[in-house]
């Protein structure tokens, strides 16, 4: 039995007629850049998220960069973020001209350790970027309080947490802006790169839209210098189709995670992920901690089962950040986890019998 890490073909086949028609409509109307399908998706996502504005862009990395630049963050500034994330979170800080400042992860939930944030704040700190990693919301009450206390911007990285919640409120709506990736493998994914930003600030939304369109809201009327980061019509049309199914797909992910939890609890060599009871975990990834990970991952490969590691090297330990001079003692939880975390397949179409097969491989490792 071959089990992919994510099965995008199964998802496509389940909505094939709608997706094919959406693509056909865009092509027949040559609405490739901007146009009604982009506007429609922006409206759809804004309404679904219950925010005042949603600005689409080319990808999730651009989304973070656009927010930082629009908030005026630049040289001499510092931005606090988490030690374990994809490099988009930190590289955009540097690209904006600021310095990334890392905080270790919470040992239970793998999100930023809120108890260690304030010790990293200096007179140069301008913003905090919490990452709702693996589909789990950060402790937004504490982070909001810290940002208000120190007059900091709050930018939420929601690339892995579409429609996740903290105490009944959607992630991305707690701060100045929330950024999203619609990379194909995400819970809500396009068929290419795509991204977007939610905000309740009409003024900030206008500035971000302008910045992502060469600094102009009307062609040839450039109020500022910006970048070219636009969502294309085909991706927007596909996302509008998929958005209708996101609640159903999220429920299916949660049920798969619950089944994993039930059957893996008996496996002593495996620690299942804990969901914070104050949040709604949407399980973009199902990440366990295991003994002898490399040996186990090889067994999975031999059995035709794809797994992943998110992430094999925490950000402070990458060569790109050697100049910061960090050691493993600076981020002990991230350092410890880097050798035992393993991401198992999880997606709405994953069957319970496939999860049973995955569990049998793990059991062999005991």
Query: What is the tens place of the pLDDT at every residue in 121-133?
Result: 999 999 999 999 9
The predicted structure's pLDDT at residue 364: 62
**Domain CATH number, residue 356:** 3.90.1150.10
Q: Is residue 177 assigned to a domain? A: yes
CA distance 98 to 149: 21
CA distance 272 to 15: 32
**Pair (199, 314) in one structural domain:** no
**Domain CATH number, residue 161:** 3.40.640.10
Q: Is residue 3 assigned to a domain? A: no
With 90 as the cut, is the pLDDT of residue 363 above it? Answer: no
The predicted structure's pLDDT at residue 1: 74
Query: What is the tens place of the pLDDT at every residue in 318-327?
Result: 999 999 999 9
**Pair (323, 195) in one structural domain:** no
With 60 as the cut, is the pLDDT of residue 366 above it? Answer: no
**Pair (258, 212) in one structural domain:** no
Domain boundary among 208, 243, 278: 243
Furthest-apart CA atoms within the chain: distance in Å = 65
Sort strands 286-290 and 341-344 into parallel, antiparallel or unpaired: antiparallel
Q: Is residue 2 assigned to a domain? A: no
> Which residues have a Cβ under 8 Å from the Cβ of 342 and sit 6 or more positions away?
287, 288, 289, 290, 293, 296, 297, 307, 308, 309
CA distance 112 to 140: 10
Percent of the chain with pLDDT over 90: 98
**Pair (213, 325) in one structural domain:** no
SS3 104: coil
CA distance 195 to 143: 24
Distances (CA, A) of 333 to 104, 105, 314, 337, 338: 7, 6, 10, 6, 9
**Pair (87, 57) in one structural domain:** yes
**Least confident residue range of 110-114, 221-225, 359-363:** 359-363
Domain boundary among 206, 228, 243: 243
**Pair (236, 286) in one structural domain:** no
Domain boundary among 243, 278, 296: 243
Q: Is residue 1 assigned to a domain? A: no
With 50 as the cut, is the pLDDT of residue 150 above it? Answer: yes
The predicted structure's pLDDT at residue 266: 87
**Pair (219, 254) in one structural domain:** no
The predicted structure's pLDDT at residue 365: 52
138: tokens are 């950060």
Domain count, the chain: 2
**Pair (194, 45) in one structural domain:** yes
Averaged pLDDT of the chain? 97
- Expressed as residue numbers, the domain containing 226 is 8-243
- What's the whole-number mean pLDDT along residues 189-209? 98
**Pair (133, 175) in one structural domain:** yes
With 90 as the cut, is the pLDDT of residue 72 above it? Answer: yes
The predicted structure's pLDDT at residue 114: 98
**Pair (186, 317) in one structural domain:** no
């Amino acid at each position: 039995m071959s089990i992919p890490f994510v099965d995008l073909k199964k998802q496509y086949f389940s909505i094939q007629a709608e997706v094919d028609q959406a693509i056909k409509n865009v092509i027949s109307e040559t609405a490739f850049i901007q146009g009604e399908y982009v506007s429609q998706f922006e409206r759809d996502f804004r309404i679904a998220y219950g925010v005042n504005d949603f600005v689409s862009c080319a990808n999730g990395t651009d989304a973070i960069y656009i927010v930082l630049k629009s908030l005026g963050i630049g040289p001499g500034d510092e931005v606090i973020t988490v030690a374990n994330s994809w490099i988009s979170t930190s590289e955009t800080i540097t690209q904006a001209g600021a310095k990334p400042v890392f905080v270790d992860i919470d040992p239970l939930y793998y999100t930023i350790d809120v108890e260690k944030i304030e010790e990293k704040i200096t007179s140069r700190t301008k913003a905090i970027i919490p990452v709702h990693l693996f589909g789990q919301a950060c402790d937004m009450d504490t982070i909001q309080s810290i940002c208000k206390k120190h007059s900091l911007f709050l930018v939420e990285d929601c690339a892995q947490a579409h429609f996740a919640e903290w105490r009944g409120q959607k992630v991305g709506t707690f701060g100045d802006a929330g950024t999203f990736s619609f990379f194909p493998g995400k819970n809500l994914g396009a068929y290419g790169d795509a991204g977007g930003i939610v905000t309740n600030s009409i003024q900030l939304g206008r500035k971000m839209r302008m910045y992502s369109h060469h600094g102009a809201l009307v062609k040839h009327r450039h109020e500022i210098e910006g970048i070219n980061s636009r969502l294309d019509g085909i991706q927007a049309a596909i996302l509008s189709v998929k958005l209708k199914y996101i609640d159903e797909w999220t429920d299916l992910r949660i049920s798969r995670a619950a089944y994993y939890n039930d059957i893996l609890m008996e496996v002593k060599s495996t620690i299942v992920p804990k969901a914070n009871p104050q949040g709604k975990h949407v399980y973009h990834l199902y990440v366990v901690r295991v003994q002898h990970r490399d040996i186990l991952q090889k067994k999975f490969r031999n059995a035709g089962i794809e797994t992943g590691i998110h992430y094999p090297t925490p950000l402070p330990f990458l060569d790109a950040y050697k100049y910061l001079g960090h050691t493993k003692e600076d981020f002990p939880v991230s350092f410890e986890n880097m050798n035992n975390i393993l991401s198992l397949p999880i997606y709405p179409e994953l069957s319970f019998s496939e999860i049973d097969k995955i569990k049998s491989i793990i059991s062999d490792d005991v």
